[in-house]
Structure 1
Amino acid sequence: MKIWKKLTIFLGAGAVSVPLAIMGLFIYATHDMCGNEVYSEVLSPNREHKVVMFQRDCGATTGFSTQISILDSGDELENESGNIYIIDGQPKEVSPNARWASNTELRIERSLNGSEYKAESSWGLDEIKVTYVAGSS
């Protein structure tokens, strides 16, 4: 009887641990499928910040997106989503013009029309104002 008890415990543990291990391996292998490709960078007039326009691609099951982040000038773009602006499409086709109006205001030359996934109006502790104006898109 002891051998059957040990065998049952062994098989039960295997039935639980093998699927958990496979699920963990899948999550580990796919957790960072996205990648960013910088399209353009523009420094603020005082050179303390920069606006980075980039393409984000998260694999075959999703399309490309154009994203914009404001960063401190010494920071590199991390493998994260944009912190200011996100729309569908590749930058060469849909990127708006982004320019600094001052050290504390970024102008994105594209009217908001509801197709944006993100369109923030400010950024950071320095409270950089982000405005969206009609212009070339």
Structure 2
Amino acid sequence: MIREIYYGIVLFFAFAFGLLTCVGVAVDDMCGNEIIQEIPSPNRKLKAVIFTRNCGATTGYSTHISLLPVTQKLLNTGGNILITSGNGNAPSWEFGGVPVEVVWISKYSLKISYPGEAKTFTKETNFDEVAIVYETYDSTPPSSSYLEKKSDDKMLH
């Protein structure tokens, strides 16, 4: 009798774990990333990837930045350096997300500019050997060359 109860409990938890794992995979697959720009470091070992992420109708677009080895592709996950959204208060790109700018100051230093009104969820100041500094702006990013590039790529509709 005790053995049957024990096996029943183990079976229940195994089933519950499997179900939660499947739901977690399905939720992550509901999200999608759209790369805006990749900026290689001066020594070409790393790249900063600016991308927007959308997880369906109940959430808005958010802007993410990840630092990756230059040969690595962006996975369907959130940014590892900066995650920010406008929440209706900050300027936004026509294709969604908050306008940001990334500039490599040196091979070990990165500067990120984003709207002061944006809400930040992740804001790392170091990643491996790279120091990251942030500055905010009021209405438009310091430079819009990456937006012009995306407009040429027909990203802006």
Q: 1:68 aligns with which of 65, 68, 71?
A: 65
* TM-score (normalizing by structure 2): 0.63
Say if 1:111 and 1:34 are closer, same or farther in 2 by CA, change over 3 A: closer
Unaligned runs of 5+ in 2: 1-11, 87-91, 142-157
* Aligned residue-pair number: 118
Q: 1:128 aligns with which of 120, 123, 130?
A: 130
Identity %: 38
Distance 2:30 2:114 in 1: 29
RMSD: 2.8
Counterpart in the other structure of 1:102: 106
Give the match's secondary structure for 2:57. Answer: coil
Question: How far off is 1:134 after superposition?
Answer: 4.1
Give the match's secondary structure for 1:83. Answer: coil
Q: Is the CA contact 2:35–2:50 (under 8 Å) kept in the aligned structure 1?
A: yes
Q: 2:85 aligns with which of 80, 83, 88?
A: 88
Question: How far off is 1:110 after superposition?
Answer: 3.1
Say if 1:54 and 1:119 are closer, same or farther in 2 by CA, change over 3 A: same
Question: How far off is 1:95 after superposition?
Answer: 1.7
Q: Which amino acid aligns with 1:128?
A: V
Q: 1:53 aligns with which of 47, 50, 54?
A: 50
Deviations 1:49-93 (A, max 9, x none): 000000101111111101000101010000110000011155556
Say if 1:113 and 1:104 are closer, same or farther in 2 by CA, change over 3 A: farther
Unaligned runs of 5+ in 1: 1-16
Q: Which has the larger radius of gyration?
A: 1
Q: Is the CA contact 2:38–2:49 (under 8 Å) kept in the aligned structure 1?
A: yes
Deviations 1:26-68 (A, max 9, x none): 7264442111110101000110000000010111111110100
Tell me whether 48-57 or 86-95 shows the greater mean CA deviation: 86-95
